[in-house]
Amino acid sequence: MKVVIAGSSGLIGTALVAALRRDGHEVARLVRRRAAAPDEFVWDPARAELDGRALRDADAVVNLCGASIGRRRWNGHYKQELRDSRITPTDVLADKVAGAGVPVLVNASGVHYYGGDTGDRVVDESSPAGTSFLATLCRDWEAATKPAVAVGVRTVLLRSAVVLSRNGGMLDALRPLYSLGLGGRLGSGRQYAPWISLDDEIGAIIFALTNETVGGPVNAVGPAPVTNAEFNRALGKALHRPTPLVVPAFALRAVVGEFADEAVLSGPRAIPTALEEAGYTFRHPTIGAALASVIGRGGDDR
């Protein structure tokens, strides 16, 4: 199988390239600089330009483009950057995929499609979109795949949770604090904290690429949802460190602004119905198993 990947240099993209190649697949990477390797092909989403050789004989395209939602404090300019970095590349790729006759498009999205805090209400792929900024962003991001959907491309909308990884991602920021005994719940701790291990994120993408029954929205989340307080306890246990602190909501809002209410103090209780019904088996079905896999110590089996 030949798979073309946009966003191959990030945490998920790097791991996906390695996994596909281990499985014997051919990978072509889209880059926004001069190509420096035989598997690289130049594209410029802002100009809707893409080296046509990249999609020649391609079996699938995976689009992982998007600026990090937590890299900077939000303002109007950065929120627009978050939209432009997702919607414009998706629109261009969907159009090119449709024109080239590529049969499969796996497009990144986010679990915050369902909005901020859904409380104890379980949400799956059949649940409606929320009304928050991130929910609207995810809805519009997914809508940008319409050129591919319209011509019958099997399009998978991968609504990913926070990815837990040994290197990079959220745990890189949290591990030093917890190791110093400075871990603690955020706000009330009752909000849900959707998660997935990097192994299962990659597993879900490859499953979606190779399983013809998978299409439409797919929640890439661990099957056992936990609250922030439960996540906090599990991480402390995995690191063998106490987690006595509580970071008040007002302090989080003061530090990170709107992002606190959108993605830190709220979170959907999402479950991976589409993956499980299609037959995907999670390597790390609990937060304890996921943390143990990336930290290398025993975690809470919750």
Q: Which two tokens stand for residue 276?
A: 């499980």
Mean pLDDT score, 105-123:
92
pLDDT greater than 60 at residue 298 = no
- Cβ atoms of 220 and 204 closer than 8 Å: yes
* Alpha-carbon distances of 288 from 20, 124, 172, 203, 296, rounded to whole Å: 27, 22, 17, 18, 11
The tens digit of pLDDT for each residue in 6-47 reads 999 999 999 999 999 999 999 999 999 999 999 999 999 999
The overall average pLDDT reported for the chain is 94
| pLDDT tens column, 36-45 | 999 999 999 9
Domains and CATH numbers, the chain: 2-163+197-221+272-280 (3.40.50.720)
In tens, the pLDDT along 128-161 reads 999 999 999 999 999 999 999 999 999 999 999 9
Q: pTM for the whole thing?
A: 0.94
- In 3D space, the residue among 65, 20, 23 whose CA is nearest the CA of residue 39 turns out to be 20
